Amino acid sequence: MKGSHNRDEESGEDNGCCSNFTCASLFDKTWKQIAWGIFGIAVLATAIALLATSLKKVDSTEYGLEYNVHNKQLDDLTKEGGLHTGPPGFEFIKFPSTFVTVDLPDGTCVSRDGLRVRFAVTFQYQMPKDWMRPAVIKYRNFDRWATVVEAAGTSAVQHTCSLFETASYQQQRGLIQNAMEENLRIKLEGPDFDGVGGVYARAISLQLKEVTLPDAYKDAVAAKQEAAEDIELAKNQRTQETTKARTALLSAQEEARKIIDSAENNANVTLTEATLQAEEIAFALQTEAQVLVRAKTSLNLTTDGLLAYMTNKLYESIPNLRVSTGEPAKLSRKEEL
């Protein structure tokens, strides 16, 4: 009985030892599976994290330039919209690929003649794809670059403003707008229009929307216009008075011409009448002389006899002749006949 009991105890001890070994094996196996599971999950999580940090999206309205934040390296190639891969942890420095509009609603400048002019200008610019890398190197990001572009545009507008006198803003607004756009292009693109010497921005267009001139200038212009109108009125009045005077002069000259013509006609008539009368008198005297000569010759009279003959003819022609004479006047030339 005692032996049997000892065998049972030994058998019980053997069964207990086998049970402990089995449990340890199972525990080790389970732990390894858990460890491998955790490792697999960690690897998968790491892979997912690496993949997530290696994929970046660029919108269709943007340009992206890859920047490795760990190596501090900037990629040479500018990428357009889409999903792009890169080294883990990289970033995209993004710039808009579309037009950017800048409004300058309350700009001021000094004109060539020293007056301050207020203006409202809007201009558009764009980042060329090939110019993005040098722009990033110089300005780092879009915000800094956009600030510099706006400052350059303002400078171009103000510089152009100083080239024109105030009066030109009323008469040559289109010309001023074109000059502003040309100076904007030089400021943004550089003198050779390749970005170098500028701010690496492509100028698209510029609009000069509004110009407000100083009140003093407006008053001066109004006074000048009023003076010009007064001068024009005076010129018109002078022209009218000159026309009146010229008309009066022409009328007086015409009247004088008529008077002169009438006087000349009267003088010609008088001269003609006098000439005819003279000719008539001369003819009558000549005829009478011829008669007297014939009478003297035919009657054989002397000169005194001819005079006596003429005296008697004179007395004969008077119907009622009364003569009063004193002595010793001769009343007859009978003795001489």
Model pLDDT for residues 167-207, shown as the tens digit of each residue: 898 889 999 999 999 999 999 999 999 999 999 999 999 99
| Low-confidence residues of the chain: pLDDT under 50 | 1-18, 50, 336
Residue matched to tokens 């579309």: 98
Which helix (H) or strand (E) is 144 found in, with range?
A: helix 142-161
Q: Confirm whether pTM is higher than 0.75.
A: no
First to last CA, the chain: 254
Fold of 99-219: Tetrahydropterin Synthase; Chain A (3.30.479)
Average predicted confidence (pLDDT) for the chain? 82
pLDDT at 273: 85
Q: DSSP labels for 234-299?
A: HHHHHHHHHHHHHHHHHHHHHHHHHHHHHHHHHHHHHHHHHHHHHHHHHHHHHHHHHHHHHHHHHH
3-class DSSP assignment, residue 158: helix
pLDDT > 70: what percent of the chain? 80
From the list 88, 81, 93, the residue with the least C-alpha distance to 46 is 88
pLDDT at 177: 96
